[in-house]
Structure 1
């Protein structure tokens, strides 16, 4: 097991990518704090991890609320004595053309993705800097950290910005043995993506099948969705990597949709 004696906090971990990473980390020996806006769903994930022989705790956390983030980090540190891995995974989406996008909807998407990532970063770094062993920050980016798509301006802008935040953490955190990297998935069949399919079909005036075939998977090498397991594997590799040889980087897992 690659994460024995490690502690991890993952936001948006009650479902989708966050849950897949939480479950994988627990199987690899980590103690995992499952942070989510939906405490009941977080507790269900914790129960699943426990039933499989892992150790986890649930945290109610609105990542846009500084006090909630600070309290969540403090609670897991009090329970387990430290924080080795922090993953800013919580995210939302809003589909609309720029000319019809309200500032309220713009700010909501940016706040969850970017402000939430900053708040977790700030709280995590203060803890990691106190630890001789340092730590690892991971950010859930996207192929949209590299490319733009119509109807997703705030999401694209936020995901691009995470690259800059990560690189800043990599530079500042190096002296404290803190690494930072961004995971950039292609389309993964999560509830977030499933909601986009009919929304984009309506906005573009095409069928849902055409959204999948001609929009989401058009530029992949094999017409396949990236899987939860794919992203959990990347997250494990980055968390377990032994040195600062791999820091400030973005790792794309997208079936060739974006190649760098």
Structure 2
């Protein structure tokens, strides 16, 4: 088990990509902390892992609440003795043209994606430096960390920002053996993406089928969605990588949509 006895905290892990990563990490031997705004759902995900023979706990975490972030990571360290891996995964999506968008939604999107990444990173790095064992910080970016799409100005801006943050963490964390990388998935059929299909159909005045084929998947090599399993396996690989040879990078997992 490549992550045996590692402690991993994953934000937004009660469902979707975060939950899939938590399950794969537990299978790989990690002790998993499910951090989510929805505590009951986080507890259910942790129970599912524990019943399957893994080790998991849940903490309530609103990633834009400084005190709650610091407490959640402190609780994880108190329970499991250390923190080796942070997955900054929590995020939302709001679809609107720039001219019809609101400052409130712009600030909300940037806060959850960027403020949340900053606050969890700061708390995790403090814990990792104190433990003196190094660690791995992984951000959930997107192909939109490299590309733009209509109707997603704050999301694209935030996802680009995560790459900049990861590069700074890679440089500042190197002396303490803390690595940072960004996973950049294509479209994954999570509830977040399912919600976008009718929204984009309405905004673009096309069918939902055309949103899937002609917008979401048109630049893939095979017309396939990325899966939560694809992303989770990449997260295992990045967390298990042993040296600073792989840090400050973005790994695109998208069926060929955007090739670096």
Q: Which residue of 2 aligns with 1:162?
A: 162
Q: Which residue of 1 aligns with 2:102?
A: 102
Q: Which residue of 1 aligns with 2:188?
A: 188
Q: Distance in 2 between matches of 1:68 and 1:191?
A: 25
Q: Which residue of 2 aligns with 1:16?
A: 16
Give the alignment of 1:193-232 within 5 angstroms: 193-232=193-232
Task: Give how far 1:14 is off.
Answer: 0.2
Give the alignment of 1:168-179 within 5 angstroms: 168-179=168-179
Structure 1 unaligned regions, length at least 5: none
Q: Distance in 2 between matches of 1:122 and 1:242?
A: 22
Q: Distance in 1 between matches of 2:8 and 2:137?
A: 10
Q: Distance in 1 between matches of 2:158 and 2:107?
A: 10
Task: Give how far 1:131 is off.
Answer: 1.9
Q: Distance in 2 between matches of 1:209 and 1:59?
A: 38
Q: Which residue of 1 aligns with 2:46?
A: 46
Q: Distance in 2 between matches of 1:199 and 1:67?
A: 35
SS at match of 1:130: helix
User: Could you list the per-position Cα deviations for residues 39-68 of structure 1 after superposition, in whole angstroms to 9, with x for gaps in the alignment?
Assistant: 111011001101110000001110010011
Q: Which residue of 2 aligns with 1:122?
A: 122
Task: Give how far 1:132 is off.
Answer: 2.1
Q: Which residue of 1 aligns with 2:235?
A: 235
Q: Distance in 2 between matches of 1:44 and 1:191?
A: 18
User: Could you list the per-position Cα deviations for residues 66-97 of structure 1 after superposition, in whole angstroms to 9, with x for gaps in the alignment?
Assistant: 01100000000001111000010000000000
Q: TM-score of the superposition, structure 1-length normalised?
A: 0.99
Task: Give how far 1:19 is off.
Answer: 0.1
Runs of 4 or more, structure 1, over 3 Å off, are none
Q: Distance in 2 between matches of 1:46 and 1:133?
A: 26
Q: Confirm or deny that 1:145 pairs with 2:145.
A: yes
